[in-house]
Amino acid sequence: MAVITRAGRARPRSAGFELGVWYLIRLSGLALFVLALGHFSITHFVSDPAEQTSEWIFDQRWSGLFWRTLDWLMLQMVVFHAFLGMRTVLSDYLRGGWRTAILMVLYLLAFLVFVMGTVAVMSMPVGLVR
Amino acid sequence: MLLRYRGGAGMLAWAFHRIAGVALFLFILLHVLDIWLAAANPGLYDEVLTVYASLPGRIGEALLGAALLYHALNGLRIIALDFWPRLTRYHLQLWYACWVVFFVVGIPGAYLIIAPALGLPGLKG
């Protein structure tokens, strides 16, 4: 018999939506291991928060398409990972109507985070706007 | 509760992973809001930035980094155990390895984040 690991959520037995969520959490987690740790290192060890003014963000860090694309990819991974993760957490503690209602708020929040992050990462350099 | 429940290391690994995950979720809401603000109102964002660069702000960022680092390392452990079940025999060793990396990377990291607010030597001299 196969060993059933209990480190994370048990892999759903049948194919379907829940199995997709199970894989997506792990795939986006792997991507974020590189993207999020890299992002944290850049903003705290390569640069320093004291110098990260809005001008620095839009004119230097986001001066080219490469970093904007990479950060937008990170945003998408974060939206999947953070909100599907919270979905699992909340589903553990909520039942019935409350679960449905709170999950609806969660999905709405995920959409809002995606839109706001996308607007930010596609904004023009501050120098161009002024 | 966490220490009295007889779940052992695996249960603690799970509890820390969940607590760190929820904390990271809350920070992401704040972080997307502040970066959106940087585009919508650059002047106001620059004022918010002084909070991030202050001593309490930097202590918060060190804690954020700790949550991120633990969640990332233990997440790799979960993925490894999920996809290579035979590794389960060494789950305890993997859990200890997570903590070794956590402290070896985390202690100098936390110092470098907090140092500028205390006038201590850091990466920027």
Residue A97, pLDDT score: 94
Residue A6 has pLDDT above 70, yes or no: no
Q: How far is CA A82 from CA A13, A106, B111, in A?
A: 23, 10, 28
CATH at B59: 1.20.1300.10
Confidence at residue B123, expressed as pLDDT on a 0 to 100 scale: 78
* Domain of B57, in residue numbers: 10-116
At B11 the pLDDT is 85
pLDDT of residue A2: 46
Mean pLDDT of all residues in B94-105: 96
Residue A123: the pLDDT is: 86
Number of domains in chain B: 1
Q: Provide the pLDDT confidence category of residue A30 given band limits of 50, 70 and 90.
A: very high
Inter-chain residue contact B112 with A85, CB threshold 8 Å: no
Alpha carbon distance B98, B91 (integer Å): 11
Nearest to B79 among A4, A30, A89 (CB): A30
Within 6-65 of B, beta carbons closer than 8 Å to A belong to 10, 13-14, 18, 21-22, 24-25, 28-29, 32-33, 35-36, 38-39, 42-43, 45-46, 49, 52-53, 57-58, 61, 64-65
* Chain B, window 86-115: residues with a beta carbon less than 8 angstroms from a chain A beta carbon: 86, 88, 91, 109, 112-113
Q: Is residue B29 part of a domain?
A: yes
Each residue of B35-63: pLDDT tens digit? 999 999 999 999 999 999 999 999 999 99
Q: What is the DSSP string of A26-85?
A: HHHHHHHHHHHHHHHHIIIIIS-GGG--HHIIIIIITSSHHHHHHHHHHHHHHHHHHHHH
Is the residue at B125 inside a domain?
Answer: no
Q: Given CB atoms, is A86 within the 8 Å cutoff of chain B? A: yes
Domains and CATH numbers, chain A: 18-125 (1.20.1300.10)
